[in-house]
Amino acid sequence: MTDELAGAASAEARARAALAAGRVSLDRPHPVVPGSIGILGGTFDPIHYGHLAIAEEVREALGLERVLFVPAGIPPHKPGQPISPAEDRVAMISLAIAGNPAFEFSRIEVDRPGPSFAVETLELLVAEAWATGRSPDFTFILSAEAFVELPTWRDPDRLLGLCRMAVVPRAARRGPGAGWVERHFPGREDRVTFLAGPNIALSGTTLRRRVANGRSIRYLVPDAVVAYIGDHALYTSESWRNDRS
């Protein structure tokens, strides 16, 4: 092996060791892992550049072949709160990801009746992978803010058995670390990877209120999504102006 190849192999080994230890600090994109899929769920009401930046960061850092955007049908964590029709949210996702061949979306939750629980979605995706002759390799992407609520989710240990997790920071909030995982989910430490970024302070709540108050959201969401929101008069009623969800 030449010195150049040996150096590349060593760098790759260090990168993989960092991933196994739950740390990611890569200067270059990780080599693509064939068949690996990231799952980014949420209401996407509306989808914005924060979502897209997170998906791209995790895709590069972990070498994911694809990232699947999964809009929630009925979010179990937002009971009684206003939410746009599923078809509008799906349409906005489709417009936002159109330029990235590694991004796709799934209707698996919006087409399923009842609340959208992550563990049930992953069970279906894993079963589908096995049925089509593929070994399931899923990474669930979520914010540090959502991750600390994982113990309250439906069957979280089962979820960690079905997929790995990639945790991205939430701006101005200190996230948990490997010690937190060890305390709450002993033996599952190698299933969680913490990323250093991106730190983008955007939220659907802020964007909806801006639209409701007649303010611009240009440069905060893709232009095609801005146009869709305007064409369909989304977030214009009084209820959105007082939205605190």
Q: Could you give the number of structural domains in the chain? A: 1
The verdict on residue 9 lying in a domain is: no
- CATH code where residue 171 lies: 3.40.50.620
pLDDT of 148 higher than 60: yes
* Average confidence (pLDDT) over 120-127: 97
**How many Å apart are CA 8 and CA 10, to the nearest integer?**
5
The verdict on residue 222 lying in a domain is: no
Are 207 and 240 contacting, i.e. CB atoms less than 8 angstroms apart?
A: no
The verdict on residue 10 lying in a domain is: no
- Residue 81: give the domain boundaries: 31-200
3-class DSSP string for 104-170: EECCCCCCCCCCCCHHHHHHHHHHHHHHCCCCCCEEEEEEHHHHCCHHHCCCHHHHHHHCEEEEECE
The verdict on residue 36 lying in a domain is: yes
pLDDT for residue 75: 80
The verdict on residue 3 lying in a domain is: no
The verdict on residue 216 lying in a domain is: no
Q: Which residues contact 35 (CB under 8 A, 6 or more apart)?
A: 65, 134, 135, 137
pLDDT digits (tens, 9 = 90+) for 76-114: 776 667 899 999 999 999 999 999 999 999 999 999 988
**How many Å apart are CA 113 and CA 100, to the nearest integer?**
30
The verdict on residue 195 lying in a domain is: yes
pLDDT digits (tens, 9 = 90+) for 185-207: 999 999 999 999 888 889 999 99
Q: Above pLDDT 70, what percent of the chain?
A: 84
The verdict on residue 162 lying in a domain is: yes
